[in-house]
Amino acid sequence: MGRRGKDGSEARFAAYVDGLVGVVGHADRAGPLEAYCMGLILPAERKSVEPMAAMTAPTRTAAQHQSLLHFVGQAPWSDQAVLDKVREMVLPSIERHGAIEAWIIDDTGFPKKGRHSVGVARQYCGQLGKQDNCQVAVSLSIANHYASLPLAYRLYLPQEWAGDRKRREKVGVPDQITFKTKSEIAIEQIRWACEAGIPRGTVLTDPAYGADVALRTTLTELGLPYVAGVSSMPSLRQGCGSGAAQPRSYFKGCKNLRAAARGAKSSLGGRDAAASDSAHPVICKVKLSVTGRPALLTFPSPWLCEL
């Protein structure tokens, strides 16, 4: 990269950090904020404060380490305020390339070796593709074909942490933080985004969230279209109108949703359900209940994507 391109990147980075300084409070936090942001984008396998300190201040690593530790762990700035400021600065740039098309509900796992990091537990870790020791954060992002941007980001606190007062006090978990499932956290984030007037898009979820009845109900109540991944082994009840006391047929243990949709089509003479032998998602007018969840809810034209 030429000098001009490098200077341009440095100027944009400096302007970005300057924009964030106003929401982190005291002016003394500007230096640690810049160092932390720089550490996030520098090439390093570990994004913790110790290697960040070594990269951003190689001649005074110990002092930089303490400064970053204080900034991340003790300084009273609001992570949501920073996210809001980032949205204010970045969203216009994204929208210049097209309208927001999607809201993405997801979580991210961070593998850990010890047991002292907040929320660490043996749970599913997407990075590893299996159950292992990790932290998990639930996020809501918006996206178009040009870029994506996280709007809300919250660490998941497992029950074993939420109910352990000694562990909470040792790491400083606020009293107002109580146990919530990942789907409950996602629902709070979705409601907040609607109240904040975030440009709407189709909500996308994987099966871990798509299987949650309360989440899908909330999306329907809020008028948000969605494409939800579901497992290939749910229980399905054929929809039969608002006045019927019981569904007319029950599909359970089908090999997959496509087979269930074929069964619905056969039983109704092809009137109320449709299935495709192609690899495209099945669209089927059914009442959906995940095995073990008794609630049966009808959705107008749901997309049930077998993943």
* DSSP code, position 295: -
The span from the CA of 220 to the CA of 192, in Å, is 16
In terms of domains, do 115 and 165 share one? yes
What are the DSSP calls for 236-290, one per residue?
A: EEE---TT-SS-S-EE-S-SSHHHHHHHHHHHTTTSSB---SSSSPEEB-EEEE-
H or E segment and range at residue 163: none
pLDDT at 211: 87
In terms of domains, do 145 and 185 share one? yes
In terms of domains, do 175 and 238 share one? no
Reduce the secondary structure of 184-243 to three states and give it as a string. Answer: HHHHHHHHHHHHCCCCCCEEEECHHHHCCHHHHHHHHHCCCCEEEEECCCCEEEECCCCC
Residue 162, CA distances (Å) to 106, 123, 138, 182, 247 in order: 21, 15, 16, 13, 40
Mean pLDDT across 262-285: 41
Decide which of 184, 201, 218 is a domain's last residue. Answer: 201
- 35: in domain: yes
Extract the tokens encoding 173.
């978990």
The span from the CA of 292 to the CA of 124, in Å, is 20
- Give tens-digit pLDDT for 24-41: 988 889 999 999 999 999
- Report CA Rg, the chain: 23
Extract the tokens encoding 303.
């997309």
Least confident of 20-29, 67-76, 154-163, 257-266: 257-266
- 86: in domain: no
Closest CA to 176 of 187, 184, 168: 168
Angle between helices 61-73 and 49-56 (to 10 degrees): 130
Reduce the secondary structure of 45-59 to three states and give it as a string. Answer: CCCCHHHHHHHHCCC
- 300: in domain: yes
pLDDT range class, residue 278, cuts 50, 70, 90: very low
In terms of domains, do 30 and 118 share one? no
Query: Residue 270: which domain range?
Result: 231-306
CA dihedral over 91, 93, 99, 105, signed as positive or negative:
negative
- 130: in domain: yes
Decide which of 201, 218, 249 is a domain's last residue. Answer: 201
Structural domains counted in the chain = 3
Q: Which residue has the higher pLDDT, 300 or 198?
A: 198
- 80: in domain: no
- 93: in domain: no
Residue 135's SS3 state is: strand
In terms of domains, do 193 and 141 share one? yes
- 88: in domain: no
In terms of domains, do 26 and 104 share one? no
Decide which of 157, 181, 201 is a domain's last residue. Answer: 201
Least confident of 30-39, 92-101, 127-136, 261-270: 261-270
The span from the CA of 279 to the CA of 294, in Å, is 30
- 223: in domain: no
pTM of the model as a whole: 0.75
Extract the tokens encoding 247.
């569904």
